[in-house]
Structure 1
């Protein structure tokens, strides 16, 4: 017993395919006995590994939800060996609002782990994932993109871990996903992340950043769809050959990868995503927006590599991440 109020309307240990919800009671002004209903699909066929596939951890990122909705509609029990748990929009209130954080409690789900069974709505979702879903899984894929404020070259990622055997398994799974770029990713703040919760339990974990700008493209969706099936084939859950293409290997070795803004204004990108930059190259200029006749502030790359990420909206605030430069391995 976890003490968590979420109850599934689908069985986890029954062969076949079941579509339903994770039902979280949520009493509010417009529904005294209301619930948050998080869609979930469980596909199972005999014994075998379990894959947990999640999207919508942030509500303004769409490649994962699209790819997982299609997978939930097309994956058949007779095609697999094991179990696939699909949650296309993990932070469903945020997903419905098209926002990074939940409109219910302003919670950032990917900074809320391990959560609390008696906490806010977002903390209860995190706690259920942490205590029920992750322990069932052998491998976890959590889709991300840049949302409304960042844009990325499309990459799958693994992290540097103390357990090198576990890290090697994560890297192999990342390579199997086979995005155009494959990155060893440095998180600015890993406290409270789903990534950390999964990795601390010794599981294999893969994440992505597949684009951004609060939308998806045909290309980024195609990468997401192919990657999920490649990963299921890699684990032996799904039969068949993986669909593989060349991938560029990236590394984020330290905080010198990040360029942060020190005043607000209007951003002028000086290079585009995927461009090669040298240490000292200007990657962006920030122009004042409250006066004319003033020069912009120029921001330089702190290392050589490629432009992996950039700020997306035209206006920036103090403290915003302007650019990320990753090393090509």
Structure 2
């Protein structure tokens, strides 16, 4: 059996505050015996639940890394009952490059699970999470935003599950997070997702989309920081009351809610994030600037709902997701 080559400088069984790295051997032109150094922190105090917190699954999403590096610096053993494992930039090669995908192998970490111990660098990272970190966890929170190509209303999310009891536990953790919106998702293609790997092991999983455009804003960082603390309190690792905030339910399980471009050009958004739409309303137009005599291609809402996500750059290509429309329905 092939063993994952990643080693850690953190002793997961030892109490205290530990800051270190997951060290992935990686030979390249500038360093023949080099390593990818993935930052990891652990705060452990006695027995109790384990919460695994991750950001930077995609390297151009920043609310998670900011909130988690601040937490790693602030959290002390006297604050916790159990264990908090923090990986602020799980896809460190992509994070260092400011890219969604890893520059080492072009891999999308959030499509590489469960990974391979003898695969590419991205697959090895996924395998380490699948075989070492996820099995230790009781709760997993993975913080995302839209990156450079998308922008979202700030929401926490869970998935539909065949396991009703697991889904209920995930929903309770999502409610505790307390984002302005709470969404139930059905992924267009769940194969290879970190989410899928965590849920397959029966762990409570919550994810987020907290903004986008390849930047972070004070309000989205504040949502991430409050939500992380709330999940830790919900898990019983931190004491104190959950700092609740109003949250609106969203249902993002209808495939007709995803508006996909079939022509490239210049995007003219016709509605803003949070605007309500009726089926058939024009969401956006795509113009052919080199041929202004051509009429634009209009893209319409396939369902009633509100605009929960949109393409961020003003230029689009065929196949790009232009808009995500969510239904405003109670989460049942």
**What is residue 305 of structure 2 aligned with on the other side?**
305
**Contact 1:2 1:131 (8 Å CA) reproduced:** no
**What is residue 8 of structure 1 aligned with on the other side?**
8
Cα deviation code 1:109-149 (max 9, x no counterpart)? 00000111011100000000000000000000001000000
SS in 2 for 1:328: coil
**What is residue 257 of structure 1 aligned with on the other side?**
257
* Alignment partners' CA distance in 2, 1:53 and 1:2: 27
Please state how far the C-alpha of 1:292 moved relative to its aligned partner: 1.6
* Alignment partners' CA distance in 2, 1:224 and 1:289: 39
Please state how far the C-alpha of 1:253 moved relative to its aligned partner: 2.6
Matched, 1:151 2:151: yes
* Alignment partners' CA distance in 2, 1:284 and 1:209: 22
Which structure 1 segments of 5+ residues have no match? Answer: none
**What is residue 212 of structure 1 aligned with on the other side?**
212
* Alignment partners' CA distance in 1, 2:200 and 2:217: 33
Structure 1 stretches of at least 4 aligned residues deviating more than 2 Å after TM superposition: none
Relative to the length of structure 2, the TM-score reads 0.98
Which structure 2 segments of 5+ residues have no match? Answer: none
**What is residue 232 of structure 2 aligned with on the other side?**
232
**What is residue 134 of structure 1 aligned with on the other side?**
134
**Contact 2:250 2:327 (8 Å CA) reproduced:** yes
* Alignment partners' CA distance in 2, 1:188 and 1:217: 28
**What is residue 318 of structure 1 aligned with on the other side?**
318
Relative to the length of structure 1, the TM-score reads 0.99
**What is residue 221 of structure 2 aligned with on the other side?**
221
Cα deviation code 1:65-121 (max 9, x no counterpart)? 000000000011111100000000000000000000000000000000011101110
Please state how far the C-alpha of 1:185 moved relative to its aligned partner: 1.2
SS in 1 for 2:327: strand
- CA RMSD for the aligned pairs? 0.8
* Alignment partners' CA distance in 2, 1:2 and 1:33: 20
Please state how far the C-alpha of 1:2 moved relative to its aligned partner: 6.8
* Alignment partners' CA distance in 1, 2:245 and 2:229: 14
**Contact 1:27 1:34 (8 Å CA) reproduced:** yes
**What is residue 50 of structure 2 aligned with on the other side?**
50
* Alignment partners' CA distance in 2, 1:26 and 1:166: 38
* Alignment partners' CA distance in 1, 2:2 and 2:234: 32
Please state how far the C-alpha of 1:294 moved relative to its aligned partner: 1.8
